[in-house]
Amino acid sequence: MLSSEGLYQLVAIFGGTHGNEMSGVTLVNLWIQNGKEIQRKGVETKPFITNPRAVEKCTRYVDTDLNRAFTTENLSGDDLPYEVQRAQQINETFGPKGSPEAYDVIFDLHNTTSNMGCTLILESSKDHFNLQMMHYIKKAIAPDSCPVLLTEHPLLKYSTSRSVAKHPIGLEVGPQPQGVLRSNIFESMRLVLKHALDFIELFNEGLEFPPCTVDVFRVSEKMDYPRDTNGNIIAMVHPNLQDCDWEPLNPGDPMFQTFDGTTIRYEGAGTVYPTFINEAAYYEKQQAFVTTRRETLAAGAIKKT
């Protein structure tokens, strides 16, 4: 049994890491005014707007993507863009990243224009506490689904805002356009967070969570839009793939459609599960979607000591 390390009493909920993803911005602002909904026994929960200037302008960021800014170099540099300064402040308040004083859990609330439903993002396959939490949430919201995206990858490094915590958890809920608040998306996010906080309370009360397994989608490969020699996009996500996040994409399946109607097919070696399909914010990151592969992770038992 994993004897877990502490009281798990410091929990932060981040909204507005991207200033135009409205569910998290709205929920966090609501809870700053009245935190009753997020109070749990033995847990100190802090709702926090991470990028207030971007929220004010209703834009993803001001100078650079805050959710990629938490690199070691950034966290020690000076004379830097707004989001990097902000990353340093957040690291001081909720970290320092990798230290024993860091917050136990940070939830970072995001929306996507992709049809990803209510997705939990996990950064490490070895994080038994988070795996147990995700197992709990999946059971609690069944028969609705709650896919887990594992971003652990030998090459792709994200340096997210939530990475300053011991147990970072991303919530990515969609589809919702940037700058828009949809009641269905808002209520889905709110419900997942309720179950997550319930789990932390149960853990704090000393409940033992026995070993379990969690099905996840592990990030595999970034796929860019087809482009001409000047870098201009020459094809769109194919209508057969659009909105089909988490569904199998097999070799030979339609993937893109050029402006003159030609179909471009997937030519990988085996079945993958695309997600973040046609996400607005990823055009600038040269990413039409990301492929994932299914995997089952084992979580050891946990109990507060």
Q: Which stretch binds its own copies (CB under 8 A): 125-133, 197-205, 233-241, 296-304?
A: 233-241
Q: What is the largest CA-CA distance in the chain?
A: 63
**How many other CB atoms sit within 10 Å of the CB of residue 261?**
6
Q: Does residue 172 carry a catalytic annotation?
A: yes
Question: Is residue 285 part of the contact set for its own copies (CB under 8 A)?
Answer: no
Which amino acid is residue 239, in one-letter code?
P
Select which of 92, 172, 201, 208 is catalytic.
172
- Tell me if 299 contacts its own copies by CB under 8 A: no
Pick the binder of its own copies from 35, 206, 210, 239 (CB under 8 A).
239
76-135: which residues touch its own copies (CB under 8 A)?
A: 113
Which range touches its own copies (CB under 8 A), out of 8-16, 118-126, 130-138, 229-237?
229-237
Contact set for its own copies, span 38-77 (CB under 8 A) = 58-59
Alpha helices in the chain (DSSP H): 22-33, 52-57, 82-94, 128-141, 183-204
Cβ(248)–Cβ(270) under 8 Å?
Answer: no
Among 49, 91, 238, 290, binds its own copies (CB under 8 A): 238
Q: Does 276 contact its own copies by CB under 8 A?
A: no
Encoding tokens for residue 3? 């004897």
Edge to edge, what strands does the sheet with 167-174 contain?
44-49, 10-15, 105-111, 167-174, 117-122, 148-150, 212-223, 289-299
Closest to its own copies by CB, 9 vs 242, is 242
User: CB-wise, 178 or 292, nearer to its own copies?
Assistant: 178
Query: Can you tell me which of 283, 285, 294, 305 binds its own copies, judged by CB under 8 A?
Result: 283
The nearest distance, CB 148 to its own copies, in angstroms, is: 24
By CB under 8 A, is residue 180 in contact with its own copies?
A: yes
| 56 in a labelled binding site | no
Measured from the CB atom, is 176 or 275 closer to its own copies? 176
Query: Contact 111/173 with Cβ under 8 angstroms?
Result: yes
For its own copies, give the closer residue by CB, 104 or 279.
279
Q: Which amino acid is at 126?
A: K
Record the tokens describing residue 126, joined without a space: 């070895």
- The structure tokens listed for 259 are 């402006």
- Residue 249 interacts with its own copies (CB under 8 A)? no
Strands (E), the chain: 2-4, 10-15, 44-49, 105-111, 117-122, 148-150, 167-174, 212-223, 235-237, 254-258, 263-265, 289-299, 302-304
Q: Which residues here bind its own copies, judged by CB under 8 A?
A: 26, 29-30, 58-59, 113, 175-184, 186, 232-233, 236-239, 242, 257, 259, 278-281, 283-284
Binding residues: 18, 21, 60, 67-68, 110, 158-162, 172, 282
| Residues with active-site annotation | 172
